[in-house]
Structure 1
Amino acid sequence: MIQTWRIDTPVQTLVLASQESRLPTVVYWGQSLPLQENLAVLAAAAQRDITGGMLDGVPDLSVSPQAGDPFPGQPGMQLRDAKGKGLLPVFSLALDESADNSLCLTYKDAALGLSYVLEILAQADSDVLRLSCALQSHQPIFVDWLAAPVLPAPQQSEHMLEFSGRWCGEFQMNEVPWNSGARLRECRLGRTSHEHFPGVILPCRGATNSQGQAFGLHYGWSGGHRMLAEELPDGRRQLQFGHASQPDQALCQSVTTAPLFATFSACGLNGLGAAFQSHLRQHVLQFPDAARPRPVHYNCWEAVYFKHDLDTLKDIAQRAAALGAERFVLDDGWFKGRDDDTSSLGDWLVDRRKFPEGLTPLIDYVKSLGMSFGLWFEPEMVNPDSDLYRAHPDWALGRPEQLLGRQQMVLDLSQSAVCDYLFERISSLLSEYDIDYIKWDHNRVLPTPVAGQTEAVYGLLDALRSAHPSVEIESCASGGGRIDFGILQRTHRVWLSDSNDAIERFWMQRNAALFLPSEVTGSHVGPRLCHTSGRVMPIGFRAWVAASRHMGFEMDPRELTDDEARVLQDATDWYKANRDWLHQGHILRLDSDDAAVLGELQLARDGQRFVAFVGQITPSAQTLPRPIRLTGLAPDALYQIQLRNPDQAAAVSRGKVALKVGPLSLSGRALMELGLQLPIAFPATLWVIEGKKL
């Protein structure tokens, strides 16, 4: 007997089938099927042949492949009883709770006392599927591995696009070809990490940013995680996501995976990005005031570092406000004894040497300038040279003789006393002072990838948000070390990278846009001489790269010339005038025919306007610029376009390029097929092309 289920969003269909009440298999995932499709026939058509040298049947590649079938690849769960003996469950359907846009199937193995619950929710407004599973046992058992519901990878895909990285170089996208065998990526660092973003893109043959079929997956978990991509000997492919294996494995009776977010696109990688951006915006983010425009930040870190002086900070705040800043964030260095990164983490008391009257004089001055006030914390960490560690060395996670990271250790948040202390310290400061924003940092990896630490962080953030619902929180982890949908359910902004090098930022922002919308992606105008790369870049490039996301400044404004201040104010004014529609629209990557040029287009939700940011990153190989083709426009509509910053053309640009002269009116098809001819530009130039539908 074949049982079938289907779940649809406007652009995709997922079909599951089960033989003899076994765990179901995904027999179809892709472009929407007709409503009259016979699912039983579809499932039968997906059955494979049998040949020599194999079993007399093809074991199911189910939502949790079972080793006991025997399945020829990596199983979706690995279980042991209390004595360490392996368990090989045989599940059978016990309960079917399905609706139009959701599915919940419960399977049981009565002999072993095990239950497996599969849940799938389709979000029609974002075209994203949310999948998770849970395992329950009557008796305590060891769960060595439990994958979120396993999905098949497309046969017409030649490679995967994975995301790796490093400090100041997050969201590097790598092509990994499909080959026979298993590829394992496991992050054992205890946080999402710079190195292993828990997501993958599966472009089908011929797909580009703007056309072709593609699939995308993201595991929404902020701790250690594992991704397994496997091509079986028979040619089938599977993708598994789950928590990282833990060295302190303990007996348990219940395990639940984090949600796996999955989507399909028939219009290239941009369809995936638009779906994930929409889903995060509509179903994950919880802003204290969703109607409030995203304020322009000023962060003092790269201006003063640990040298906090009230008069200097007031001077900088006044200059930042004049440039257009709307929120002043006091970074690391404000608390007791904190003069460098070697001491004092955990001692969350205002340093009376630097601030004799507390933070009130600075906050009052910042507010008098029309800005709100934010404060930096790194709550999960402790320095051995701190009052907290001297009083509670047992609060540190891991062995006392462990290797330190940035001169610090991690607090063990599984201890309730630790979370109680952190909640009291942070909450008291939020109650005493008018603080509307926390920059929540996390500057070292965990000594072991314990899932309980992540769950405790979630609990602490939830408690603080409940007690202080008007406060916004930024997730920072040496930059982009903790970015995922799990942490963003509890925070409101991510610090994409510690690099304020605008060239590095531009390609990182472009890659991250496959998952993140603009309003959560913090981007700051850094110093003229970048502190992390040593490069000097023009203010126009730095300002417009920041204005393309959630804008901020992080330089010493005292270094600006009058001309630089004018350029920065102009970009800031533009950001403020356009952020309402930018932060509701979609970021679409442009396909460039010039390897030296990167571009993206931000399209309003109603399609009535757009802005394209086109960056000349390095010198082009050819003499003249190649046309840049736009995307996402209505082919038959007419658009008026203009170059917002024609003055950025290189001194050697001598021709009468139309966009240098004034606005143009062209059809969407012409803009997407022929493209636009831009003036010659030196590297570190960002063109800003505005368009409106006529």
Structure 2
Amino acid sequence: MIRCWRLDDSRQTLVLGSQHDHLAEVVYWGPRLSDQEDLTTLYKAHVLDVTGGMLDQNPELSICPEATRTFPGQPGMSVREQDGTPLLPKFCFAEAVEEDDALTLIFKDQDDVLTYSARFAIDGQTHVIEAKAWVDADRPVHLHWLSAPVFPAPQSSDEMIDFAGRWCGEFQMNRTPWSAGMRYRENRTGRTGHEHFPGLIVPCRGATNASGHAYAFHYGWSGGHRMAAEELPDGRRQIQFGHATRVELQAKTHFATATLYAMFSDDGINGCAVAFQRHLRDRVVTWPDPERPRPVHYNCWEAVYFNHNLPELKDIASRAAALGAERFVLDDGWFGNRDDDTMALSDWEVDPRKYPEGLKPLIDHVHAEGMSFGIWFEPEMINEDSNIHRAHPDWALGGEDQILGRQQKALNMALPDVQEFLFDRIGKILSDHEIDYIKWDHNRVLPSPDASQTRGSYALIDRLREAFPKVEIESCASGGGRIDFGILSRTHRVWLSDSNDAHERLKMQHNAAIFLPSAVTGSHVGPRECHTSGRVYDIRFRAWVAAQRHMGFEMDPRELTDEEASVLKDVTTWWKDNRHWMNRADILRLDSSDPSTIAEQQLAEGGSRFVVFAGRAGTSSQIAPRPLRLTRLSPDAMYRIELINKEDAPELSRGTPLLKSEGLVVSGAYLMSHGLTLPWSFPDRMWVLEGTRL
């Protein structure tokens, strides 16, 4: 008997099928099919031929490939009895629960020990498929590996794109050709990680940012993941995502994956990006006040570091407000005897040496300047030189001989006493002060991976969110070390990188936009000389790069010249004037003919306006700039284009392109087929263009 099911939106169709009561497999995923399609025919057409040297029938590439069915690749599950005996189930169909836009499939193994369930839900507006799997056992068992529901990868793809990185160099794209065997990536650091962002893009042959077919995946879990992209000997391909292996340390009767977010795009990588951006912003993040404009941040870290001094901080706050800041964030150094990074983590009480009257005088001053107040915590960490470690050394995760990270250990977040202590200490600070924002940091990897650590951190954040529903939280982990949809279902902003180097930020923001919308992506104007790279950048470049996302400042405003302060105020004012639509705009990566140009187009809902940021990340090989083609415009509509920072043209830009003197009105067809010819500029400069549909 063949059973089939389908899920549809206006863009795509997902068809699953099962024969002989075996686990279901994806038999079609791609452009929307006719409602008249015979699904049984599709299932039969999906069957592969066999030839010499093969089994007499190809094993199913199911949503959880089983080792017991002679599957030649990576199985979707590995489970053992408590004595170490492997469990090798053969799952048989038990039930299908069909809802509007969702499907749950349930299978039981022949020994009635394990029950496997998988749920698929398709969002008709964002075009994202949410897939999740779980296993129930009739007695406690050990889980080694469980994949989220397995999807096939397209045969028409020549390569896959995943993401690597490091501290101050996140979201670097890797392109790996498909070949026989497996692309295997596993993050065992206990957090999402700079090194292995849990995302994958599979473009079909010929796909670009703006055109062609592409598939995309993101695993929404903050505790480390495993990804396997495998080409089987017969040529079929599978994509597996799940928790890192061996992170469930206790025998249990229930295990579940996180949500795997997947989608098909028929307009290139941008189609994947827009789906992720909208889904995260509108479905995953829960905003305390959705109507509140995203405030311009000021963070004091790179101005004072640990040297907190009330008169100095008041002066800095006043200067930040004069530049346009609307939220002041007090960073590390306000608590315990925290004079450097070797001491006081977990002693979450205000330092009376630095703040003899508490935080209230600073908060009152910040409020008087028209700004709200935020504060830094690193709740999951502890220094050995702290009152709490001396009182509770058993609260630290890992052995006494472990290698420290930033002079600190991690707290064991699975312990109820630890969660209770942190809730009380953090809750008291939030209760006693008018605070609307937490910068929640996580500055070291764990001594060993443990899924219960992540669940404990989630539980603490969830409890604080419930108790203080108006407080926003930023996820920071040495910058971009904990960015995923799991943490963002509990937080509202990410600190993309500890690097405020505008050149590096330009590249990172470009790649991160495949997954992250502007509204959650913090980007700050750093100091003239970047503290993490030593490079020196013009204030215009620094300001415009920050204005691409949720804008803020993170430098000592006392270093600014009058001209620099004027430029920063002007760009900040421009950002405030446009944030109401930019925070809901689609960020579209442009296919630049010049590899030295990194450009994006932020297109408003409805398409009535857009802004183009064209960053020069290097020196062109040719003399004159190549035209920059735009995307997703109406071909027959006319658009007015204005270069809003034409005064930034250097003296060596000696020609008379029309954009340097006045706006131009051209068709969408011209902008998408020929493109805009920009003025010449130095490297590490940004051109900013506004477009309006007439």
Tell whether the structures are fold-level matches, with TM greater than 0.5.
yes
Deviations 1:381-417 (A, max 9, x none): 0001111111111000000110000000000011110
Give the match for residue 430 of structure 1.
430
1:618 aligns with 2:623: no
- Give the whole-Å Cα distance in 1 for the aligned partners of 2:189 and 2:594: 37
Contact 2:25/2:63 (8 A) holds in 1: yes
Aligned to 1:393: 393
Find the counterpart in structure 1 of residue 556 from structure 2.
Answer: 556
Which residue does 1:48 correspond to in 2?
A: 48
Displacement after TM superposition at 1:307 (Å): 0.5
Equivalent residue for 1:658? 658
> Matched residues in 2 for 1:673 and 1:497: separation?
35
Which amino acid is 1:592 matched to? S
Could you tell me which residue of structure 1 aligns to residue 506 of structure 2?
506
* Other-structure match for 2:344: 344
**What aligned pairs does 1:507-656 form with structure 2 within 5 A after superposition?**
507-656=507-656
Query: Residues 641 and 691 of structure 1 are in contact (CA less than 8 Å); yes or no, is this contact kept in structure 2?
Result: yes
Alignment of 1:17-56 (within 5 A): 17-56=17-56
> Cα distance, 1:336 vs. partner?
1.2
Residue in structure 2 matched with residue 256 of structure 1 by the alignment: 256
- Spell out, residue by residue over 1:511-536, the C-alpha distance to the aligned partner (whole angstroms, 9 max, x if none): 00000000100000000000001000
Verify the 8 A CA contact 1:342 1:406 in the aligned structure 2: yes
Tell me how far apart the structure 2 counterparts of residues 56 and 112 of structure 1 sit (CA, whole Å): 29
In 1, the alpha carbon distance for the partners of 2:447 and 2:248 equals 12
1:334 corresponds to: 334
TM-superposition CA deviations, 1:556-589 (whole Å, max 9, x none): 0001111111110111001111101101110000
| Residue 679 of structure 1: aligned partner | 679
> 1-side partners of 2:649 and 2:679: how far apart?
6
- State the Cα deviation string for residues 152-179 of structure 1 (Å, max 9, x = none): 0010111100100000000000101111
Q: Percent identity of the aligned residues?
A: 60
> Deviation at 1:112?
3.8
CA RMSD of aligned residues (A): 0.8
SS in 1 for 2:35: coil
Please name the residue that 2:226 is paired with: 226
Can you list the C-alpha shifts for 1:583-638, whole angstroms capped at 9, x where unaligned?
11100000011111110000001110000000011111111111111111111111
Alpha-carbon separation, structure 2, partners of 1:420 and 1:247: 24
Work out the CA distance in 1 between the residues paired with 2:518 and 2:282.
Answer: 14
Change (3 A) 1:476 1:201: same
Query: In structure 2, how many angstroms separate the alpha carbons of the residues matched to 1:526 and 1:103?
Result: 48
Larger deviation: 139-148 or 241-250? 241-250
CA distance in 1, matches of 2:250, 2:369: 54
Distance 1:249 1:472 in 2: 33
| Contact preservation (8 Å) 1:93, 1:108 | yes
Q: Answer with 430-439 or 243-252: which moved more.
A: 243-252
Partner of 1:212: 212
Cα distance in 2, alignment partners of residues 333 and 344 from structure 1:
9
Which runs of 4 or more aligned residues in structure 1 lie more than 2 Å from their structure 2 counterparts after TM superposition?
246-250
Q: Are the equivalent residues in 2 in contact too, given 1:246–1:448 (CA < 8 A)?
A: no
Q: In 2, Cα distance between the equivalents of 1:30 and 1:275?
A: 15
Q: Is the 8 A contact 2:89 2:110 kept in 1?
A: no
Deviations 1:20-63 (A, max 9, x none): 11110101111111111111111111100111112111100000
Q: What amino acid sits opposite 2:171 in the alignment? A: F
The answer to whether the 8 A contact 1:89-1:112 is kept is: no
Tell me which residue corresponds to 1:129. Answer: 129
The amino acid of 1:175's aligned partner reads R
Q: Which amino acid aligns with 2:664?
A: L
Matched with 1:62 is 62
Q: Secondary structure at the match of 1:676?
A: coil
The answer to whether the 8 A contact 1:332-1:376 is kept is yes
Measure, in 2, the Cα distance between the counterparts of 1:367 and 1:226: 46
CA distance in 1, matches of 2:86, 2:490: 37
Aligned residue for 2:71?
A: 71
Aligned residue type for 1:462: D
Task: Report if the CA contact (8 A) 1:224-1:450 is conserved.
Answer: no
1:414 aligns with 2:419: no
Per-residue deviation, 1:246: 2.5
Matches within 5 A, 1:176-187: 176-187=176-187
1:207-249 Cα distance to aligned partner (Å, 9 max, x none): 0000000000000000111001100000000010001123673
Counterpart in the other structure of 1:319: 319
CA deviation profile, 1:541-563 (whole Å, cap 9, x unmatched): 10011111000000100011111
1:537 & 1:510 partners in 2: Cα distance?
Answer: 19
The one-letter code of the counterpart of 2:34 is P
Contact in 2 for aligned 1:144/1:249 (Cα 8 Å): no
2:304 alignment partner in structure 1: 304
Gap regions ≥5 residues in structure 1: none
CA drift of 1:69 comes to: 0.2
**Alpha-carbon contact 2:171-2:197 (below 8 Å) kept:** yes
Residue number in structure 2 paired with 1:288:
288
The 3-state SS of whatever aligns with 1:68 is: helix
Pair 1:165-2:168 in alignment: no
1: distance between equivalents of 2:9 and 2:162?
25
Question: In structure 1, how many angstroms separate the alpha carbons of the residues matched to 2:424 and 2:276?
Answer: 36
Structure 2 CA distance for aligned equivalents of residues 420 and 573 of structure 1: 43
Q: In 2, distance between residues paired with 1:470 and 1:404?
A: 35
Q: Distance in 2 between matches of 1:21 and 1:10?
A: 30
Letter in 1 for 2:401: E
CA distance in 2, matches of 1:300, 1:10: 47
Assess if the C-alpha contact under 8 Å between 2:145 and 2:246 holds in 1. no
Structure 1 Cα separation of the partners of residues 336 and 422 of structure 2: 15
Q: Compute the displacement of 1:110 (Å).
A: 4.7
Amino acid at match of 2:126: S
For 1:276, the aligned partner's letter is: F
Equivalence for 1:238: 238
CA contact 2:610–2:690 (8 Å) conserved in 1: yes
Q: What SS is found at the alignment partner of 2:169?
A: coil
How far does residue 650 in structure 1 lie from its aligned partner after superposition? 2.1
Are the equivalent residues in 1 in contact too, given 2:334–2:354 (CA < 8 A)?
A: yes
CA–CA separation in structure 2 for the residues paired with 1:484 and 1:9: 25
> How many Å separate the matches in 1 of 2:620 and 2:438?
42
State the shift of 1:500 in Å: 0.1
Whichever residue aligns with residue 628 of structure 1, its letter is L
Secondary structure (helix, strand or coil) at the match of 1:508 reads helix
Give the C-alpha shift of residue 463 in structure 1. 0.2
In structure 1, the residue corresponding to 2:4 is in which secondary structure? Answer: strand
SS in 1 for 2:423: helix
CA shift digits 1:353-408 (9 cap, x unpaired) = 00000000000000000000000000000001111111111000000110000000
TM-score by length of 2: 0.99
**1:280 and 1:485 in contact (8 A); partners too:** yes
Residues 63 and 150, structure 2, Cα contact 8 Å, conserved in 1: yes
How many residue pairs get aligned? The number is 694
Q: 8 Å contact 2:412–2:453 — kept in the other structure?
A: yes
Please say if residues 207 and 269 of structure 2, whose CA atoms lie closer than 8 Å, have aligned partners that are also in contact.
yes
1:250 is displaced (CA, Å) by 2.5
CA contact (8 A) 1:299 1:328 kept: yes
Q: Give 1:475-514 correspondences, 5 Å limit.
A: 475-514=475-514
Once residues 248 and 57 of structure 1 are traced to their aligned partners in structure 2, the CA distance between those partners, rounded to angstroms, is 35
Shift in Å at residue 351 of structure 1? 0.5
Work out whether 1:452 is the aligned partner of 2:452.
yes
Whether the 8 Å CA contact 2:249–2:450 is kept in 1: the answer is no
2-side partners of 1:99 and 1:30: how far apart? 21
1:360 & 1:429 partners in 2: Cα distance? 11
Distance 1:386 1:272 in 2: 46
Residue 684 of structure 2 aligns to which amino acid in structure 1?
A
Give the whole-Å Cα distance in 2 for the aligned partners of 1:222 and 1:249: 17
